Homo-oligomer: A and B are copies of this chain.
Amino acid sequence: MDHHDEDDAHLSSQIVEEEDLLFDDGPSEQPSLDETTGNADIDKITAQHSDIDETLRVRLAGPSTSKVNYHALQRLFTFIEFLINYYFPIQAGMDSVDKAKVNEIIYEVSKGSSFFENERKKDNAVTGRINALLSKYERIKNDVLSEEFIIVDNMIEELEDERDLNQCIVHIDMDAFYASVEELDQPHLKTVPMVSFAFQAVGGIGMLCTSNYEARKFGVRSAMPGYIALKLCPQLKIVPLNFSKYREASAKVRSVFEQYDPHYCPMSLDEAYLNITEHLKTTNKSPPEVVVEIRDKIFKETLLTASAGIAANKMLAKMCTDVNKPNGQFYLKSELADIQEFINPLSIRKIPGVGRVTERVLNALNVNTCKDIYPQRAMLYKLLSDISFKFLLRAHLGIGSTSVDSEYVRKSISVERTFRSLSSRTDLYFKLKDIAQKLAKDLESKNLCGKTLGLKIKLTSFEVRTRAKTLPGNIYKQEDLEKYASQLLEKELPVSLRLMGIRLSSLCSRDEIDQKGVKRVGICTIF
């Protein structure tokens, strides 16, 4: 499991400013976008659907949630039902359209590739984990577990003490951020031709960073390789990234946040938490009215739309943002009953921190929606780690952190690159040098050094390995990074690689180290 979000400890990956991801290596020709080749006999593929590898199919569909937006749908349903009853009682009938078709296409197009085989391996590993869990589950599922129920219920009481319903937390997330920024300069991308955005070009088009809502209708999503996106949507317009533009837009947005909460906590270029409790005292607007105002200012400032969630804590606020996603907001009142009503029907996948693997695991344990957590609590307590279990309990109770703070201490820094597969030691060492150089530059600009050096390699089979060494003192120079990384690499040879990366952790500011790299004793240390 993960739960890097939502702890007392600071939210993970808070910043990720995605600086200079414009590469200086590799063949930097613009990928020819008119390459509308291989238009895919999609219908043929679609026809022959089989049920085997269903879980793989789902996994291959990528990490994005999709499925169904319960609350938004709920509103739609009531409105539709009203129309139906009011105007005519209608009866219809049809079968599958989108989701399954998209998954099927991705599956067929992927089949056979190294990537595919590696994914199959991972999938099998998950299946193994699940089976192990299930056999434990089988053993206990008929037990009464009265002791466990007591323990858990005490635990819940303790967690309840964490609950703070007095803060008004807002989560704001720009809609299709990079895509929308591009549309500002090229308004024709907004409509009929649907666009999306290439990340990098090694051989082909590379990976997509995001897609506009037009493209999403075709199943085109973040983190999808370009060539698959083109199968799903041959007209797809692909445009290269312009980080500086996104950073500019982000700065404008943040200047608005600043006005409502000077301690606002940015989570990425397009996303932040605000605690508007204090601001509310200065106005007689209601929370949703304030948030409309914020989004309005953002729009006036950038011509970009944002969505927002308003709730008692960060977890709930984030979940609320999803409810009315493009260009909408959702206000969850800080009442126990409202919170329960909101959380219960949601798929556990909507909990931030529950991804596709955790979802599969929990589904196997008959936990599909948040309301399923409570009746299964004793069983989950026995099967999951303490941290994971408490994470789920908090989610089910709608309890989360309310601390919104812009202070941020980086814990690691890294550079990694994918390339056409290499095996020769000289080629590898050459690449490694580039990577070390880039990392050294980054360390320089951030005035950082670190004691733990990590090497990451990805085999051509997509298997990933990491090796690390904690050194006696802090390093930051290119030559040091290269030297220790090379030592780690040496032990892995011979290998055929498609990626290498270097990471430095156990960081500290260079101002704090003496010449030998040993960290000076902090002034405020306790002796």
A residues in contact (CB < 8 Å) with B: 67-68, 73-74, 76-84, 86-87, 90, 92-97, 99, 187-188, 191-193, 292, 295-296, 299-300, 303, 305, 327
Contact present for A95 and B77 (CB under 8 Å): no
Given contacts A86-B96, A191-B299, 8 further A-B contacts (CB under 8 A): A78-B93, A78-B94, A79-B97, A80-B80, A81-B92, A187-B303, A191-B327, A192-B292
| A73 x B82 contact (CB < 8 A) | no
Chain B residue nearest in CB terms to A293: B192
CA distance A181 to B43 in the complex (A): 41
Taking the closest CB of chain B, its distance from the CB of A337, in whole angstroms, is 20
- Contact B93 A81, beta carbon cutoff 8 Å: yes
Whether B68 and A96, one on each chain, are in contact in the complex, defined by CB atoms closer than 8 angstroms, is no
> Which residues of the partner chain B approach A292 to less than 8 Å between Cβ atoms?
192
Q: What is the chain B residue whose CB lies nearest that of A97?
A: B82
List of B residues within 8 angstroms of A82 by Cβ: 94-97
Contacts of A94 in B (CB 8 A): 78-79, 81-82
A295 in contact with B192 (CB, 8 Å): yes
Interface contact A83-B68, CB-CB below 8 Å: yes
B79 touching A300, Cβ below 8 Å: no
Q: With CB as the reference atom, state the residue of chain B lying closest to A292.
A: B192
CB-CB under 8 A from A90, the residues of chain B are 74, 77
Q: Which residues of B contact A305 (CB under 8 A)?
A: 191
Closest chain B residue, CB of each to CB of A193: B296
Contacts of A68 in B (CB 8 A): 83, 87
A-B CB contact pairs (8 Å), 30 listed: A67-B87, A68-B87, A74-B90, A74-B92, A76-B80, A77-B80, A77-B84, A77-B92, A78-B92, A78-B93, A78-B94, A79-B97, A80-B80, A81-B92, A81-B93, A81-B94, A82-B94, A82-B95, A82-B96, A82-B97, A86-B96, A86-B99, A187-B303, A188-B299, A188-B300, A191-B299, A192-B292, A192-B295, A192-B296, A193-B296
A74 vs B82: C-alpha distance when bound (angstroms): 14
